[in-house]
Chains A and B, each alone.
Chain A
């Protein structure tokens, strides 16, 4: 069955330090992978996606993510965290396998807190 795991409910990082928000997935076929961010009382905003090609994907606000097929991971990263990066982050995957229903599967979210 398709699934997405965000193993950390919360990640705390000091401003200026690098940050990583983890995401692992399980699908039967090739994955389409997405990261979204949600600020308080707002809808989700698209950050970046991996469809095919280069494993390192760059997105909005200086974020990037690395697709690792062998580890079935798609961790979100940023070299230097800002206080304004504090938000809820969601990973999502679409299973493109021939027997999939192609639904977008969402992780439970990771709360990122950047401390000044």
Chain B
């Protein structure tokens, strides 16, 4: 099966600019996750979708970050305006149905550098 697709792979922007990332999960996977991974740390969950509804966005900085999954398939994550501390790898993952024992399948991520 095709894996989780993410684009772009790399992005360099200046602070205060905006940026968007795209994710296409594995076909048939109802649950989609966006993570932020800062160098040397484990992934931090930003938002979890079940189909097109938000399950958990408690760690999403809502003043600057937004995400949507309008048709329950693809998803976009946006940062506006970007800050220096947003430099990180943004990982998208999906799982079959979000059941607690299901593994998550990750894309290769988007590496964001803020100048």
Contacts and interface: CB of A to CB of B under 8 A. Distances in A.
A83 interface: no
Nearest to B42: A106
Contacts of B108: 41-43
Contact of B106 (A43, A51, A94, A102): A43
B100 A94 contact: yes
B103 A32 contact: no
Nearest to A43: B106
Contact of B100 (A45, A96, A107): A96
Contacts of B111: 41
B96 to A, nearest CB: 12
Nearest to B106: A43
Interface string B81-115: 00000000001010000001101111111010000
A36 B111 CA distance: 19
Contact of A107 (B4, B42, B101): B42
Contacts of A11: none
Contacts of B40: 108-109
Contact of B45 (A43, A44, A103): A103
> Chain B interface residue count: which class?
20 to 34
B101 A44 contact: no
Contact of A43 (B4, B42, B44): B4
Contacts of B43: 44, 90, 106
Contacts of B44: 106
A49 interface: yes
A104 interface: yes
Contacts of A103: 45, 56
26 contacts: A32-B100, A41-B111, A42-B108, A42-B109, A43-B6, A43-B91, A43-B107, A44-B91, A44-B93, A44-B104, A46-B103, A49-B101, A49-B103, A51-B101, A90-B43, A92-B42, A96-B100, A102-B100, A103-B45, A103-B56, A104-B104, A107-B42, A108-B40, A108-B41, A108-B42, A109-B42
Interface string A80-116: 0000000000101010100001111011110000000
A108 B38 CA distance: 10
